[in-house]
Structure 1
């Protein structure tokens, strides 16, 4: 398929000699391409229908900036975009209208190969239009994320000059592609000397027309060519050759699951009462193995006891599951007529179907009564569909409003999540392997290799002493059930959290007795040990056919989570880890970890001392935990043997199967790694790497704050080490290398980066190359650490840019999906999606211009959601909607962070905030900025 993009500088749609003469390039392009994207058509809204008559073999659609029925127009009509496609693709084409006047597109589906072409016209480069340019880039990002297609081409006149390093828009476009994992295909496939624009006034050249693609879209482009021979005006056409065979095939969604899941949202209170009564009767009938339950010998070798305990557990699960069978028929999905179909669509659908059948039987004529009848009935059918769609959006909007008015927040956010759903169809092949069964086997081998990649041995725990903590009470089961959120997916046993919460109270003592027996005998049933892995796409813009673009979601039994919560109450006193570890700890978060790093390094910069940092990346750290070494660490910490024995049995006997679509692979055993999504997993991982933190703290190098020396910070497996000496950093790297070798931690030197925060005196000093595991590390000037950008000049402009780009993207997403909602609903969505300004309180060293762009983005985001013009006063909008202005929000977030820091008991945080420990509180530039923000008006 050949696609052309061309800025026409005015499109004449008439058939006079003059019109055809001025349309010479367009007509020539239509004879050479399958899809033509045009910018600056200068057409009024009333002229867009003429796009269908430009060429006998082409149909068209467009957007205009001007409606002649609303005002008198003087001069030419600005802007406008159009897209034309060959009629042979009519059956495969769906026009994409985004309700904007600068973009229009096509969704094309050819033999399960689905891709999208988006034609855009961006504003010309000017400081005054920079915010508009960023807003439109964010709009494109929101569309790509929301699109059902993962193969997206965005082409047109971007007015971003890649041939000029000083071009603001060009730099923005390059950064935009890098941050969003998009490919600037025109830059890759064309020489650096390319140009697509020749100035009439200065005869200078610029490279303004581009194509940005997702990874799969770029892989399907075989060639790009600029048609210099058609340079009859200032803009030059650019042609793209698309190999449709290389577009990934997507498998149609199959709504038939492996089992019929119970939808509790459709169950009434009367049904729940009936279910509770049924479980009461079913659980009453469960027979208890008295000998096995009465056994208090933790070293019992009676296999009959173990089998009876497992049988008891399966009977409890069966009783709970069978009790819900009477509810299942109410929740099963069935095909229903869309509301309004019979009123608005049914008649036109029948007429269009009959007209199409007659036209098809007559040989598909291109003119005549049958052809006109087919066109007219199809147009009426599509128009009625649009009415139905608008009605459906209004019904959803009304439902959201009712949920808020009735304070039914659960229903409100469930409806929001439903409207915001962005599920992507599965590709038909992964790494060249086709067929659901074969792909499931491929995933099975992939995860089996990963989770059996570390050499280890089975752990044997003998001579276990009986303790009172082996006995589990019913109240503990109830507390554990209350901690699990409703609506979560279930494991292979099909037991949801609602099954447990609405069950008879007899379930609690039964599970308590069953779990006590498991702790005493050190065994678990197969259904608790079974886990389902579901690969999900990490990045829609990356390759869908690559194994590396997926991450596994682990679905385990909800009852196993209850057991984990019960075990955690007995383990937590033994799972305390280093103060340098901020991950998975109460009252600590990523923002506090970043704060500590900023303050420690900032203190040394204040003392005119450079600091050397290294951000270390560990490959699949959670999946490479050595079980034998983990359990040995637990024993060394004094964890009771009966707990270690049960965990060892759990990890040695757990099985995993991979689900791809509706196919479930054969199960496999695992010998390393902590279970993904497990309640205990983050705590066990922290224990596993705790000794690395201890070894680093024993080093004699680091940054001194008060009477303490700090040289590293951890958030789970994210590790940053630092020292004011180059030799000190290399010493810390050696400690990490040694620990990785001893405990099977595999570092990724290509993703681990060194950053040197230099003082002015050290700007031109050459420092040695740093090595991790013998491999030289790359030095970087900017890195994203825990979602926050850190730069070697220790300024916050880069992170502020991240935040205002995110604001534009969030606002565009909300506007696209919730534009029909009430003001109350929009305000609730704005608070949820746009006011959590991550790490914004940590900004202090930035340019006024950068911060002004952030303020403008916040105001524009709210204006966009409320659909009011940019010149409308933002402060009045915020007051009327009871939403804080940007400055007020920053004060609130700053005060909240200060309060959390002052209450923190973490020794590192206290060293930075407690004046009894150090002077940092009084010398900190960040804290001075906070005081000024809070108390200066």
Structure 2
């Protein structure tokens, strides 16, 4: 089915039926003859006139928003703004109006043949410097609406007041940057000629392209025709049409598809039930038959098959004991209702009375007269009255619930409820890459992951003649500490055992598990059930293409018992293997910000010395999934890791199986011969080991940046690698080393995503530099790049990163305002502190225009005003003091001070070289350190 949608800025919509009114809306009448849905902006209608939209045309109904209520004040002059959406009456059963609570946007949802689309009609402020913050705030509002909506097919049409044909248009640049950041497609720019225009200035007779259509990827793919109707240009604005083919829109499955039917809600279990679980597990664990011969065996090369079988049986008995003990705690999901605020206080007791009265009445023969019938009627009426009450007051009760939890320091329940409100589940599509049906799609995923995780050829690795080591023995306290590190309320593996099963079980559990795992270390084998992993594909970007397999990433659900063993193994591996200080990923007291700090300090130092710097940001495709197991184990042997640890890892990786779960369908298992499982406890450490030799090779090559007594030419954060050198020949040498390492160790680089950046000195502003190659492909040169979430520009300015943070603030504030507007002020303040004050890497800004930081401060203040519903012209200082929230400047100073402490205390040698005056003079000449001192210390 094709649907024609039109957008037009009317500059005043007449809803009357006089000849004058009809003559003034001739374009609107023509549009309604041609289209199915019409979005109009600048209607200039008051709220009292919006009902006239339903009588505007005999075949159309409509809904709108107005900026003015005539009953509230005396209006002088014309009514500004206003939007309205009209649709053909034949779609009445399919259309639902979406009110967004603002006067500049309105949406409709159209459901047709299991397909759902949303059309958002917006009117943005005209371009001037005073409207810039409001413009960014409205863009952020649109983004928060899209993120908050379960639909993945959304069209945003209207007068954007952004001329994308003018490079000097700040609003045009904001709109283009918004589309880039959000992943939306500016369909009008993609589908229409570059010389298009939708506005003719009556004063200057110039043209501008102000009206646009933004879409998610699925929505964009459904557009068959887009056309600007120049023949209807009777005023300054020109309408445009969009023809949608709803047949190409993905069909979505139910939202709850694939959710487990049964799940234990450990937070709702009473103390009495928990005590029963402890007692039951204690009894079952005490009755487990312990295989003494297998547990007492200390022959590291034991070949007794019965020992291995006995140990596996012991493991299965432990898991089964926990499972049986917890069965009384399970509640069928189908019998659970969605708990609404106020249910327990106002409804639950009346619901029980109504059910009991109904049962007695039904058992007596369902007579229509008598006391049982009257009791049934009265109890049912009271129940329904209470139910209507909590529905009407749901927002108030939810607000009171959050406020009570915050006031009573019930932190866990508070954030759990916040997460529930904040959650937006995405439905599964009915087809992926053209394949339809749950069974067929699950087989498609199985084939996809089976090929990916078996794409690297490696020989079978065998570990013989293992020697005994004191680390073989695992103590009960180690198991206890490993269990405490597990995170609560997480998805379980195939055995349906969660972290809470282990944490709340009998004290007999830890000694049994310790003996069992010690036996595994001695014999070098593990049970098959421990090595079974479920892969669940989840969507990466909801505004992307929902039917494309490239838009999904797998979540690996492993056994909780295997995570305990991973933690124990990791503690032992860390004693033997150390990665270079160039690697910042997955290390204690390290982080992305320290890595960015090191890079910026090196670049700043060489820039001050008037030296050109060459950088390459290297992207590796599926780096974790392409790890060669054989070569990984050889690296562990080279590092001096004991044989029993390598043997258990060899068995683990050679015998692990994976199966894909799509909705309620689970595929047959398949073997895995390469890759380390993303999300695993051991995986980041093993990946660092795998990449450590590359770091050592780069350090030994002799080219790079000399800082103090150290030579630095690269930084790594897991698989994010940046190499740099003050010489063009040096950067190419580093690229050759990376290319060769990729060939030797099956690392596949992506030259299209890898970028070169040149930070030129004053003398090299117009110099020509050669092309740089990675894996035989010429790399593109960029002027700025997002590295670990921070924008680095080739002029080293921080204005673009401040702009990024500014946009993010508006998005966060609008998201909070949309979802938590009903909450009390203390709750809103707590949410603001959590979501808006952690300004990521803001403490690394030192090169910026004062106007950039001023605009960030305005965004910070406006975000607080928006959330608390404070007028925009009110005092920001008074607002922050009253709320007990730090100002933007105070937040920045606090972040600087805390980060300075982290830098000073860091044990990383590279950070010490850059920050410790005993190692180098970088700190004294650093622009960043000077900026910190200026902001934090008072100079007399």
TM-score by length of 1: 0.94
1:434 paired residue among 430, 433, 436: 436
1:6–1:39 CA contact under 8 A, matched in 2: yes
Q: 1:552 is paired with a residue of what secondary structure?
A: strand
2:154–2:219 CA contact under 8 A, matched in 1: yes
Whole-angstrom CA distance in 2 between matches of 1:388 and 1:145:
27
Cα 1:822–1:552 shift into 2, 3 Å: same
For residue 145 of structure 1, report the CA deviation from its aligned partner. 0.7
For residue 334 of structure 1, report the CA deviation from its aligned partner. 2.3
For residue 335 of structure 1, report the CA deviation from its aligned partner. 3.7
> Which shows bigger deviation, 130-139 or 46-55?
46-55
Whole-angstrom CA distance in 2 between matches of 1:617 and 1:601:
21
Look up the match of 2:595: 593
Is 1:780–2:771 an aligned residue pair?
A: no
For residue 476 of structure 1, report the CA deviation from its aligned partner. 0.8
1:293–1:514 CA contact under 8 A, matched in 2: yes
2:796 paired residue among 783, 794, 797: 794
- Written as runs of structure 1 = structure 2, the 5 A alignment for 1:874-893 is 874-893=876-895
Look up the match of 2:569: 567
For residue 256 of structure 1, report the CA deviation from its aligned partner. 6.5
2:341–2:397 CA contact under 8 A, matched in 1: no
Look up the match of 1:137: 139
2:545–2:551 CA contact under 8 A, matched in 1: yes
1:409 paired residue among 403, 408, 411: 411
Look up the match of 1:521: 523
Look up the match of 1:185: 187
Look up the match of 2:454: 452
Cα deviation digits, residues 743-776 of structure 1 (max 9, x gap): 0011000000000000121111000000011111
Cα 1:614–1:333 shift into 2, 3 Å: farther
Whole-angstrom CA distance in 1 between matches of 2:331 and 2:540:
35
Look up the match of 2:841: 839
Whole-angstrom CA distance in 2 between matches of 1:271 and 1:147:
38
Cα 1:687–1:342 shift into 2, 3 Å: closer
Is 1:929–2:931 an aligned residue pair?
A: yes
1:54 paired residue among 53, 56, 62: 56
Look up the match of 2:296: 294
Q: 2:569 is paired with a residue of what secondary structure?
A: helix
Cα 1:260–1:456 shift into 2, 3 Å: same
Look up the match of 1:217: 219
Whole-angstrom CA distance in 1 between matches of 2:99 and 2:911:
52
1:113–1:244 CA contact under 8 A, matched in 2: yes
For residue 338 of structure 1, report the CA deviation from its aligned partner. 5.8
Is 1:803–2:799 an aligned residue pair?
A: no
Cα 1:120–1:388 shift into 2, 3 Å: farther
- Written as runs of structure 1 = structure 2, the 5 A alignment for 1:235-384 is 235-254=237-256, 257-329=259-331, 333-335=335-337
Cα 1:540–1:256 shift into 2, 3 Å: closer
2:7–2:239 CA contact under 8 A, matched in 1: yes
Whole-angstrom CA distance in 1 between matches of 2:795 and 2:831:
36
1:917 paired residue among 912, 916, 919: 919
Q: Tell me the number of residue pairs that the alignment of Structure 1 and Structure 2 aligns.
A: 899
Look up the match of 1:812: 814
Whole-angstrom CA distance in 1 between matches of 2:409 and 2:339:
30
Cα deviation digits, residues 788-817 of structure 1 (max 9, x gap): 001111100010000000000000000000
Look up the match of 1:123: 125
1:158–1:208 CA contact under 8 A, matched in 2: yes
Is 1:495–2:534 an aligned residue pair?
A: no
1:575–1:683 CA contact under 8 A, matched in 2: no
1:175 paired residue among 162, 177, 188: 177
Cα deviation digits, residues 70-91 of structure 1 (max 9, x gap): 1000111000000011122122
Q: 1:574 is paired with a residue of what secondary structure?
A: coil
1:617–1:747 CA contact under 8 A, matched in 2: yes
Cα deviation digits, residues 207-242 of structure 1 (max 9, x gap): 110001111111000111111111111111111010
Look up the match of 1:89: 91
Cα deviation digits, residues 152-179 of structure 1 (max 9, x gap): 1001000001222211111111111112
1:634 paired residue among 633, 636, 659: 636
Cα 1:509–1:331 shift into 2, 3 Å: farther
Look up the match of 2:669: 667
Whole-angstrom CA distance in 2 between matches of 1:399 and 1:21:
56
Cα deviation digits, residues 414-460 of structure 1 (max 9, x gap): 00000000211011100000001111110111011100010011211
Look up the match of 1:757: 759
Whole-angstrom CA distance in 1 between matches of 2:344 and 2:194:
58
2:255–2:426 CA contact under 8 A, matched in 1: no
For residue 479 of structure 1, report the CA deviation from its aligned partner. 0.5
Whole-angstrom CA distance in 1 between matches of 2:174 and 2:148:
22
For residue 117 of structure 1, report the CA deviation from its aligned partner. 0.4
Look up the match of 1:625: 627
2:261–2:332 CA contact under 8 A, matched in 1: no
> Which shows bigger deviation, 897-906 or 461-470?
461-470
2:341–2:401 CA contact under 8 A, matched in 1: no
Cα 1:330–1:56 shift into 2, 3 Å: same
1:822 paired residue among 815, 824, 841: 824
Look up the match of 2:379: none
1:267–1:331 CA contact under 8 A, matched in 2: no
For residue 329 of structure 1, report the CA deviation from its aligned partner. 3.0
> Alpha carbon RMSD of aligned pairs, Å?
1.8
Look up the match of 1:361: none
Whole-angstrom CA distance in 1 between matches of 2:342 and 2:328:
31
For residue 298 of structure 1, report the CA deviation from its aligned partner. 1.3
2:724 paired residue among 722, 725, 728: 722
Whole-angstrom CA distance in 1 between matches of 2:830 and 2:759:
41
1:250–1:425 CA contact under 8 A, matched in 2: yes
Q: 1:629 is paired with a residue of what secondary structure?
A: helix
Whole-angstrom CA distance in 2 between matches of 1:731 and 1:64:
64
Q: 1:187 is paired with a residue of what secondary structure?
A: helix
Whole-angstrom CA distance in 2 between matches of 1:908 and 1:341:
57
Look up the match of 2:696: 694
Look up the match of 1:226: 228
For residue 470 of structure 1, report the CA deviation from its aligned partner. 1.2
Q: 1:658 is paired with a residue of what secondary structure?
A: strand
Look up the match of 2:355: none
1:263–1:332 CA contact under 8 A, matched in 2: no
Q: 1:878 is paired with a residue of what secondary structure?
A: helix
Whole-angstrom CA distance in 1 between matches of 2:242 and 2:259:
41
Cα 1:229–1:114 shift into 2, 3 Å: same
Gaps of 5+ in 2: 348-385
Whole-angstrom CA distance in 1 between matches of 2:160 and 2:464:
71
Look up the match of 1:202: 204
Whole-angstrom CA distance in 2 between matches of 1:341 and 1:700:
70
2:736–2:774 CA contact under 8 A, matched in 1: yes
1:262–1:332 CA contact under 8 A, matched in 2: no
2:257–2:663 CA contact under 8 A, matched in 1: no
Cα 1:390–1:6 shift into 2, 3 Å: farther
Cα deviation digits, residues 817-837 of structure 1 (max 9, x gap): 000101110011011100110
Whole-angstrom CA distance in 1 between matches of 2:611 and 2:59:
71
Whole-angstrom CA distance in 2 between matches of 1:10 and 1:598:
53
Cα deviation digits, residues 334-360 of structure 1 (max 9, x gap): 246967999999xxxxxxxxxxxxxxx
1:852 paired residue among 851, 854, 859: 854
Q: 1:165 is paired with a residue of what secondary structure?
A: coil
2:7–2:240 CA contact under 8 A, matched in 1: yes
Cα 1:98–1:387 shift into 2, 3 Å: farther
Cα 1:579–1:243 shift into 2, 3 Å: same
Whole-angstrom CA distance in 1 between matches of 2:761 and 2:340:
66
Cα deviation digits, residues 663-712 of structure 1 (max 9, x gap): 11111110001112111111110010100000000111111111211100
